Amino acid sequence: MSPNLRIAYRFLTAKKRAMLMSLACTVLGVGLFIVTQATTSGFEKFFTKTILGINGAIRIEDKIQDTMRSIMAEGSTDSYFAQREGVKYIEGIDEPQLVADAVRSFPNVRGISAVVRGNVQITSSFKTEDAQVFGINLDDHIRVSDLAEQITNGKLSDYRDSPNGTLIGRVLADRLQIGVGDSISIAARGQSRRARVTAIFETGYRDADKTNVYMHLPEARSLLKKPAGATLLQISLIDPDRAPQDAARMEQVLRHGAKPWQEREKSWLEVFRALRISTGITVTVFTLIASLAMFNTLAMIVLEKTKDIAILRSMGYERRDITQIFLWQAAIVLAIGTALGALFGWSVTWLVEQVPLNLTGIFKSDHLIVVRDPNHYFAAIATAVVMVMVASLIPSRRAARLEPGDIVRGTAQ
Amino acid sequence: MSGEKPSSGALALRCANLHRHLGQGEGRVHVLKGVSFEARRGEVCAIVGPSGCGKSTLLYLLGLLDRPDDGQIEINGRLMSNTDDAARTAARGEHIGFVFQFHFLMLEFTALENVMMPMRKLGRLTPSEMKARAHSLLESVGLGAKTHRLGTQLSGGEQQRVAVARALANQPTILLADEPTGNLDVKNSALVFDLLTRLAKEQGQAVVLVTHNPEIAQRCDFTRPMRDGLFV
């Protein structure tokens, strides 16, 4: 152990109460930082997972037709936004198979599902509700969504084997008061047909559960009178975080509008970001208190140890040794405080996860959702280290500036 | 640190025309008014005089704990009065040992650790050598049985003896003592003074001590009386 560290340790342990106060503040600061980031990020990640599980990472919906303006712009710039300004979007995809084949050449693409979508009215024995029908090829759609895991009643295999089978959202099924095996009437564009409820799904996203109905693609084409083409292509990615770059490239290459999930859900993601920042600021106050407590402790030790500082200086200890002795004290508190704080944060995060809570709305959960991300721990520790060390610099430098001659003469200010 | 005894009689410390003011504004006092002084190895010199005459101020200047307003200080032939803080600090660690009136032990540390502290900073010895030397010094001041006692568990006389051992830890060429017996009873005063002079003579160190005690002063090799910031 270096002489300075040894002295720092003894100085610190001589002021147990003040040291414990600084330690407690550091533990609280680090722990609460971790807990709040774990919960806010948890909800954000869960929301993202839900959204990706319903709508995929990218949706290609519209064909792009150049206008005179965009044709002129293309010569001068290649950027995504410049081209977007001067183009016309034509609803739907005329050649979904060709576009899908082209999309498959993107290395990050995991699955593609061609979807025909339309507004319908669904009538049960009790009432009629507006809904949106999605004509899908089941196997394709399972690859781009979490539909298989979202089934709460009935079996997906029954749907696969039943040509007039439908999958209905939980909220819509409740409103229509129907269950698996019941018959419903689906009406669109002046015609209606009977269908059977083969399974009920629940995404957790209330809007989807209230309106979405899945049926086989040929049935949907027939009902919506769309014998060819597709309303959209739903795409899942290996790395969903790269969706904006992939979507921009797809739009350029395929001449179809491609929207990444980050753009589709921008407003919610902004809410989560603001929430994360505001809670981050709140808990940083705890770390600030920890740094003030450390400042106070060190300032007290400097006052009480002026004679010891003079002795050390008379023995040949340099100013930087004195600074180091006081910074070591902060470092000892930080090392113990951040380790205990991380443990405290992990434990409270675990406890929070056990709290039963019935959440519905933009997602559904029966408990608080948390994320254990090492980055939260690094951020909490880094914040504490920076703030406490900065606060410790002032008393440390003050101690180093003391003149030994002044101290032994008793005139140190 | 060499084990050899430094040559006795060589000039260890010299100052010339030292001036020092203390205080500010109207309270500013000219404490030292051109003091010159020399100390040789193996000699014990006492600086005596009334309170406020500048004895301690001179001692702190000689020990490089303070800076003169004017004048020169040489330690072992090297001019130190104009050097930077790092050089002065290094010189203190290597060449100068201090004994203060109020012993100034670091109370959270044991007697052994207090004595080892200057050695740890200088870093010339291995940890085991430092420990052995600290034990030896504490033995020589009669505290061999109390090496592991904290400063708070030692009497005033014992603390001052630890301070003497600590001052000798790095085998300095100069030992400066500011009223080393001022806070002790007669018996302990004699004990500490004998220790200081015996160990210093054995190791060929120049000892400069400030004292009010005429008996102690009489037993030194020579005495320099001071008054109003000047030797008289």
pLDDT at A374: 92
Chain A nearest CA to B87, separation (Å): 10
**What is the interface size between A and B, counted as CB pairs within 8 Å?**
77
Phi, psi dihedral angles at A93 (to 5 degrees): -120, 120
- Other beta carbons within 10 angstroms of residue A300's beta carbon come to 13
Partners of A319 on chain B (C-beta within 8 Å) are 85, 89
User: Element (H or E) spanning A69, and its range?
Assistant: helix A68-76
Partners of A406 on chain B (C-beta within 8 Å) are 66
Q: Is residue B168 within 8 Å of residue B137, measured between CB atoms?
A: yes
Can you spell out the DSSP letters for A232-272? EEEEEESSGGGHHHHHHHHHHHH-EEEEEHHHHTHHHHHHH
Residue A81 has pLDDT above 50, yes or no: no
Of all residues in chain A, what percent carry a pLDDT higher than 90?
40
pTM of the model: 0.72
Distance between the two ends of chain B, CA-based, in angstroms?
37
Region A67-83 average pLDDT: 48
- Other beta carbons within 10 angstroms of residue A192's beta carbon come to 16
Residue B25 has pLDDT above 90, yes or no: no
- Other beta carbons within 10 angstroms of residue B188's beta carbon come to 17
How does residue A39 score in pLDDT terms, banded at 50, 70 and 90? confident
Cβ neighbors of A215 (< 8 A, separation 6 or more) are: A133, A134, A135, A136, A164, A165, A166, A167, A186, A195, A223
pLDDT tens for A87-116 read: 677 778 888 889 999 999 999 999 999 999
CA dist list (Å): A188 to A61, A132, A135, A295, B218:
21, 10, 13, 72, 122
Q: How far is A268 from A222, CA to CA, in rounded Å? A: 36
Q: How far is B17 from B230, CA to CA, in rounded Å? A: 10
pLDDT tens for B51-95 read: 888 998 999 999 998 889 999 999 988 899 888 989 999 999 999
Phi, psi dihedral angles at A245 (to 5 degrees): -70, -45
pLDDT at A72: 54
Q: Is A29 helix (H, G, I), strand (E, B) or coil?
A: helix
Phi, psi dihedral angles at A366 (to 5 degrees): -105, 10
Interchain contact A301–B (C-beta under 8 A): no
Beta bridge pairs of residue B98: B176
pLDDT at B142: 85
- Beta strands A58-66; A232-237: pairing state: antiparallel
Flag the least confident range among A255-259, A325-329, B3-7.
B3-7
Q: Is residue B134 within 8 Å of residue B117, measured between CB atoms?
A: no
CB contact (8 A) between residue B66 and residue A321: no
Q: How far is B175 from B197, CA to CA, in rounded Å? A: 10
Interchain contact B60–A (C-beta under 8 A): yes
Q: Which two tokens stand for residue A327?
A: 């910074």
CB contact (8 A) between residue B89 and residue A14: no
The predicted complex's ipTM stands at 0.86
Region A253-279 average pLDDT: 87
Give the type of residue at A171.
V
Q: How far is A312 from A299, CA to CA, in rounded Å? A: 18
Q: How far is A402 from A319, CA to CA, in rounded Å? A: 9
pLDDT at B174: 93
Q: How far is A72 from A70, CA to CA, in rounded Å? A: 5
Q: Is A17 helix (H, G, I), strand (E, B) or coil?
A: helix
Q: Is residue A223 within 8 Å of residue A191, measured between CB atoms?
A: yes
Which chain A residue is nearest to residue B93, measuring alpha carbons? A316
Q: Is A166 helix (H, G, I), strand (E, B) or coil?
A: strand
Residue positions counted in chain A? 413
Q: Is A326 helix (H, G, I), strand (E, B) or coil?
A: helix
pLDDT tens for A153-203 read: 999 889 999 988 999 999 999 999 999 999 999 998 888 889 999 999 998
Cβ neighbors of A252 (< 8 A, separation 6 or more) are: A78, A80, A83
Q: Is residue A171 within 8 Å of residue A210, measured between CB atoms?
A: yes
CB contact (8 A) between residue A10 and residue B89: no
User: Element (H or E) spanning B216, and its range?
Assistant: helix B214-218
Out of A6, A307, A314, name the one closest to residue B92 (CB): A314
Interchain contact B183–A (C-beta under 8 A): no
Q: Is residue B23 within 8 Å of residue B198, measured between CB atoms?
A: no
CB contact (8 A) between residue B66 and residue A406: yes
pLDDT at A362: 67
Beta bridge pairs of residue A239: none
CA angle at B49 for the pair B45 and B55, rounded to the nearest 5°: 65
Q: How far is B175 from B224, CA to CA, in rounded Å? A: 16
Average pLDDT score, chain A: 86
Q: How many CA atoms lie within 13 A of A160 on its CB side?
A: 10
CB contact (8 A) between residue B89 and residue A316: yes
pLDDT tens for A230-250 read: 999 999 999 999 999 999 999
Task: Say if residue A28 is exposed, middle or buried (CB neighbours under 10 Å; 0-12, 13-18, 19+).
Answer: buried
Q: Which two tokens stand for residue B68?
A: 């003169």
Beta bridge pairs of residue A361: A205
Interchain contact B120–A (C-beta under 8 A): yes
Q: Which two tokens stand for residue A199?
A: 């399974």
Q: Is residue A188 within 8 Å of residue A123, measured between CB atoms?
A: no
Q: How far is A243 from A248, CA to CA, in rounded Å? A: 8
Q: Is residue A233 within 8 Å of residue A96, measured between CB atoms?
A: yes
How does residue A79 score in pLDDT terms, banded at 50, 70 and 90? very low
Which chain B residue is nearest to residue A14, measuring alpha carbons? B108
How does residue B1 score in pLDDT terms, banded at 50, 70 and 90? very low
- Other beta carbons within 10 angstroms of residue B214's beta carbon come to 11
pLDDT at B20: 92
Q: How far is A264 from A104, CA to CA, in rounded Å? A: 22
Region B210-229 average pLDDT: 88
Tokens 């008996």, residue?
A: B215
Q: Is residue A229 within 8 Å of residue A94, measured between CB atoms?
A: yes
Which chain A residue is nearest to residue B106, measuring alpha carbons? A308
Average pLDDT score, chain B: 87
Residue B33 has pLDDT above 80, yes or no: yes
- Beta strands B70-75; B44-48: pairing state: unpaired
Give the type of residue at A149.
E
SS3 content of chain A, % helix, strand, coil (to 5): 60, 20, 15
Q: Which two tokens stand for residue A142?
A: 């399972």
Beta bridge pairs of residue B226: B231
Q: How many CA atoms lie within 13 A of B120 on its CB side?
A: 19
Region A137-144 average pLDDT: 92
Tokens 């710039």, residue?
A: A77
